[in-house]
Structure 1
Amino acid sequence: MRKIVVHMMLSLDGYFEGPDHDLSWHLVDEELHAHFNEQLATMSAFVEGRVTYELMEAVWPTADQNPEYPPVMREFAGIWRAVPKIVFSRTLQEVGPNASLRAQVDPDEIRALKQQPGGDMTLGGVDLVETFRRLDLVDEYRLYVNPVVVGRGR
């Protein structure tokens, strides 16, 4: 049985993002990025909300073509392209290659996906995580605490 696994960066004071959606304090060095690559390469799907999907899709499809990025970032570009994505959005009309679109979370569909063989599914997007949590669909949390105090945000 596959699990729904939340991978989330948090500040010491419990924030996911700072004011005005600031994520600049997310400290991801090469060692942590290599760890993320190892974890995420085993996933059978990236389950994401619109904002997370759009942020990721803006960088990762071609990141391996940027010689200024370190090898771990270029490696993740291949992982991003290879892993299927399930995107939840009420506003998007289409998504990129290897992605499918859902307008809302159907708990029965998610439970059926979890029963299929394959690797776990990672869940991203703070609003989507809250919806999955409320519907008791999250199986595991992997929280990465950054050594910063953000003070306010979300």
Structure 2
Amino acid sequence: MRKLTYGMNVSLDGYIAAPGDDLGWSVPSDELFQWWSDRVASTGTALYGRKVWQAMSSHWPTADQRPGATPAEIEYARRWRDIPKVVFSSTISTVDWNTRLVSGDAVTEITRLKAEDGGPMDICGATLAAAAMRAGLIDEYVIVTHPVLVGGGTPFFTTMDRWVHLTLVQTRTFPDGVVLTRYETRR
């Protein structure tokens, strides 16, 4: 069974985006950016909700061709284009860049994907991850906490109807006081 990880940048008060979908607080250091890039390189399939997909696909497909692109940005753009992606949405009709669109039940499709052979999967987007959390499909949580309080917005965690017990498997500190914590779900 494939491993499913939910990981994102998170404010100290638990949000992945501030009001108005503002992400200005989560600009990564070079070291953190490289960590995210290496994570993309080791992921077998990325699962996206519509909002995160639209943000990523508006920038990364051609980021390596932009004037002034850094070697790290060029590497990330290439890795991002190469990784197989699945976008879950009932409101968009086309996707590109090694991507497949699913407009049906996300939990059913994620369950099917987990049962397939292949590398680990990452899930990106609060709404999509919430459905996977409630269904008990998340195997690991990667929380990259930035030392900022944004006061509201899109929360990383959804309201749950049962407890989920976790085991801490890694901590790491990045520049600017950013802290990575990885937890595996105890089954």
TM range (shorter): over 0.9
The two structures have a TM-score, normalised by structure 1, of: 0.93
Tell me the SS of whatever aligns to 2:10. strand
CA shift, 1:52, in A, is: 0.6
Consecutive unaligned residues of structure 2, counting only runs of 5 or more, are 155-187
Query: 2:117 corresponds to which residue?
Result: 117
Compare the two structures and name the one with the higher strand fraction.
2
Aligned-residue sequence identity (percent) comes to 38
Relative contact order (alpha carbons < 8 A, sep ≥ 6): 1 or 2 greater? 1
Residues 12-56 of structure 1, C-alpha deviations (whole Å, 9 max, x = no match): 111111111111101311110111111111111110011111110
Query: 2:11 corresponds to which residue?
Result: 11
What pairs up with 1:4-153 in 2 under 5 angstroms?
Answer: 4-153=4-153
CA shift, 1:118, in A, is: 2.1
Contact conserved, 2:25 with 2:148, CA < 8 A, in 1? yes
Residues 50-89 of structure 1, C-alpha deviations (whole Å, 9 max, x = no match): 1111110000011111232221111111111100110000
Tell me the SS of whatever aligns to 1:68. coil
Tell me the SS of whatever aligns to 1:148. coil
Consecutive unaligned residues of structure 1, counting only runs of 5 or more, are none
Tell me the SS of whatever aligns to 1:16. strand
Whichever residue aligns with residue 50 of structure 1, its letter is R
Mapped partners of 1:111, 1:10: distance in 2:
26
The two structures have a TM-score, normalised by structure 2, of: 0.78
Aligned residues: 154
Against the structure 1 CA distance between its residues 59 and 38, is the aligned structure 2 distance closer, same or farther, given a 3 Å change threshold? Answer: same
Across the aligned residues of Structure 1 and Structure 2, the Cα RMSD in angstroms comes to 1.3
Against the structure 1 CA distance between its residues 7 and 50, is the aligned structure 2 distance closer, same or farther, given a 3 Å change threshold? Answer: same
Contact conserved, 2:106 with 2:131, CA < 8 A, in 1? no
